[in-house]
Structure 1
Amino acid sequence: MSLDEAAPGYGYIWEYRSNADPWDAEQVPKWTQFPSATSLAIENAKNQQSKEIFIENNYRIDLEKYVQQHTIDLHRQRPIRRRRLLLQHDLINNSSDSESIKSHRERMSYCLGAPQRCSTTRDMSYYGSSFVDDWLFLFSHGKLAITFDTIFPALFNGLITEGKNQETHILNDIEKSLRTAQQKTNGQPDEDRITELEVCCARLYTKESYVYCMTNNALRDDDRTKLVTLGPFCYLLFNYIARCLKQKPSIRHRLRQFLHSNKTDTIILYRGDRASENTIHEYRQAAGDKSQYFKWLPFISTSRKKEEADKFAQDVMYIIAIESQLSNEDRFAFMAPISEYINEDEYLLLPGLQFQVKKVEFNNTQGLYYVHIKIISSYISKLH
C-alpha cells in the first residue's frame, strides 16, 4: 500500500476573530468557532461556490473576502477563516498499513513544538544543538574524541535502558541491529566502524519503535536527564546527516570555496505541523526581519513533495528554502537509501538549524497557515 492510498482524512470548521478589535494586527488573534450547525452551513455554501451566506438573521458571510458583516450596521465587520480539522484517528492507526508506512507517518506528524529564538552570534558547533554539543564534551571529558569501543556500549546500554518498558521483540530487534554493526566491522579501522554505527542509528530512526519519539522528545524539551542514555544516539544520527563535516577538508580549503563560489542552488522542502496562535503571531512579527532568528531543537522530517507534507498539516505548512553555495548536504540527509519503505521521500534536517521567517499567509482554501522560511548557514558553521 502506498502512502497516497493511506492518506489521513480531514474536514473543515469555520471561525471568526473574536478580539475586541478584530483588525488589530499587533494583538495575538483569538479565533472562536462558529456553532456546529452554522459552521456546516458555511462549509456547504463554500463547497457550492456561493459568494455569500446569511446566518443568524443578522450577519452576512462574505466567502470571497472572508469577512463577517452585520446586515444593519455595515461597519461592524470581523475576519473569518476556514480551518482544517485533521481526523487524528485516521492519521496513523490503520491496521492494514505496513510498519514502514506507520513509522513514516509518525515521523512526519511529530509535533515540532514552539521554536526557540536564537542569534547567529551564539551559533555553536553542531549548528546550535547544545544537547549534542554538551553530551560530546561531557562524554569525552573535554577532548572531543570518540572511539568505537567507548561509544558502542554507551549507545547500546542507553537505548536498552530507555526501552525497558517496551515489548521484547522491539528490544531484540534493536539489540540485533547494533550487534550486527559491531560484528560486521570487527577488525576494521575505528573511523569505518563508527560510520557503520551511524548508518545503523539512521536505520533505527526510521523503524517503528520508541527510538525516534524518545529522541525527539528529549531534544525538543531539552531534557538533560536523557543526556547519558540518548546522547550517543543523537550524536551518531547527527553525524550521519553531517557526514561531509566529518570528512572535512581543511578549513582554509572550505573557506576558499565559500568565498569564491557564485553558484547558488535552492532546495525547497515541506513540513506540516501544529502551531499555536502565539507561535504564528511571533512568525508574523518576525516576517521579513533579517535580525530575527529561530531554530527547532529536534530532528525534522520533511518532504520534497508538498502533497505528502500536506497530509500531516494541522495548522501550518512550512515551506523551507535551503539556499546553498556548492554543497550544503551536511544540513540534511535523504533517508531513502537506508529506509525500509521503498517509496521513501523523507529529508531529515539537523537539529538546531537556524531559520528566518520570510512570509506568513493564511490559505482559506486549505485552512492552513503557510509559513515561508529560509534556513540560515552561519559563518561559524561553515568553518567546522
Structure 2
Amino acid sequence: MWQWRQSPSNEWQNYSDIETAIIEDVYNRYGNRVELEDNVVVDLKQGLHINNANKKKNEKAAEIRRLSPDCDDAEAFRNRRQRNDRFCSAPKMEQNTNANSPLGAANWNGSQFVFEWQMKCPNLESLPYGDIMRQALEGIRQEGREIGLEKQAQWIVDHFMPVTKESFENICQACIRLYTMEGFVYRVLNTTLRDNNLSKIDTLGPLCYLLFQFNFAPELQNLCYTGRVYRSAELT
C-alpha cells in the first residue's frame, strides 16, 4: 500500500488500488520513477509525490510511504480497506422499474443493461468466455481514455489480459477483483447502471455480463458470499 501527504500536519492520502499496483510494479523492478495521471510523478528514489500541474503555485513536493503488514504504522495498514467514498455515497432513490423492463429482462434480474447487451450478441451461446473478457478489457480501455485515465486503463488491460486464456471460473473471479478494486472502473460502472445509460452497452456490457454470470452460474455458487450486508449512511 502506498500513501502520500503534503506536509507532516496533513493526513496521509491513499493512492487508488490501481495506482498502488502501478507504483508497486515499478518498485519491485527497482525502478526510480512512476508517471501517473494528472501530471503526477512518483519519485521512488527520493520518496516524493510531485504534481507538475502545481509547479506554478510553488507547492512543495509531497512525501510518500509504503505500508506493509510489518510496518511501524500497523493501524494505518489495518484500515487500508476503509473506502468511505465507495460505500457511503448518497443513495439515489428510484422506483422499481422491473415491471417496465423489456420482455426477457426479468431473466437477468431486471437488468435491462445486461439484457440489451445479450440481445446484441446473436452468437453469445457459442462465444468463448475468453473472448467476452477481451471485449470487457477493450471497453475499459475506451472508458479510461474518455475520462483521462489511460495509464490506469492500460495497466488493467496488461494485467488481466492473460486471464482470457484461463477457465470460466478464473475469468469470473478476475472480473470480481477488477470491479472491487479502488479505481475508476466501479465508479463508471455504477453510474452507468444507476442511470441506465444504454449508450455504454458496447464498452461496459461484457463486464456486466460476466459479473452476472458469477452471481448466478450454479457451478460458482460455492464461491459466492451468503450473509447479511450493512450499508451505512450519514444522517443530518
TM-score range, shorter chain: 0.5 to 0.7
8 Å CA contact retained: 2:176, 2:211: yes
Measured in 2, the distance between the counterparts of 1:130 and 1:231 equals: 11
| In structure 2, C-alpha distance between the alignment counterparts of 1:119 and 1:125, rounded to whole Å | 11
Amino acid at match of 1:174: I
Query: Could you list the runs of 4 or more consecutive aligned residues of structure 1 that deviate by over 6 angstroms after TM superposition?
Result: 120-123
Higher strand share: 1
SS of the equivalent of 2:155 reads helix
Deviations 1:117-175 (A, max 9, x none): 24679771121111111111212x27555423531332121110000043444123201
Change in CA separation of 1:161 and 1:268 when aligned onto 2, cut-off 3 Å: same
Structure-1 residue corresponding to 2:172: 198
**Distance (whole Å) between structure 2 residues aligned to residue 212 and residue 103 of structure 1:** 16
Matched residue, 1:104: 83
1:51-91 Cα deviation digits (max 9, x unpaired): xxxxxxxxxxxxxxxxxxxxxxxxxxxxxxxxxxxxxxxxx
Q: TM-score, normalised by structure 2?
A: 0.56
What's the C-alpha RMSD, in Å, of the aligned pairs?
Answer: 3.4
Partner Cα separation in structure 1 for residue 219 and residue 114 of structure 2:
15
Query: 1:216 corresponds to which residue?
Result: 190
Going from structure 1 to structure 2, the CA distance change for 1:96 and 1:118 (only over 3 Å counts) comes to closer
Task: Tell me if the contact between 2:138 and 2:203 (Cα under 8 Å) persists in the aligned partners.
Answer: yes
Q: Equivalents in 2 of 1:181, 1:149: separation in Å? A: 8
Q: Tell me the secondary structure at the aligned position of residue 196 of structure 2.
A: coil
Structure 1-normalised TM-score?
0.36
Name the structure with the higher helix share.
Answer: 2
Q: Does 1:125 align with 2:104?
A: no
3-state SS of paired residue (1:128): coil
Q: Report how many residues are paired.
A: 159
Amino acid in the other structure paired with 2:205 = G
Contact 1:135 1:228 in 2 (8 A): yes
State the partner residue of 1:95: 12
Change (3 A) 1:148 1:267: closer
Percentage of pairs with the same residue: 26
Structure 1: 5+ residue runs without aligned partners? 2-92, 186-191, 248-265, 273-312, 316-366, 368-384
Query: Tell me, which stretches of 5 or more residues in structure 2 are unaligned?
Result: 2-9, 18-79
Q: 2:135 aligns with which of 131, 148, 154?
A: 154
**Cα offset for 1:202?**
1.0
CA shift digits 1:326-362 (9 cap, x unpaired):
xxxxxxxxxxxxxxxxxxxxxxxxxxxxxxxxxxxxx
Distance, in Å, in 2 between the alignment partners of 1:203 and 1:127 is 22
- After superposition, what is the alpha-carbon deviation per residue over 1:162-194, rounded to whole angstroms, capped at 9, x for unaligned? 0004344412320122223135x2xxxxxx2x3
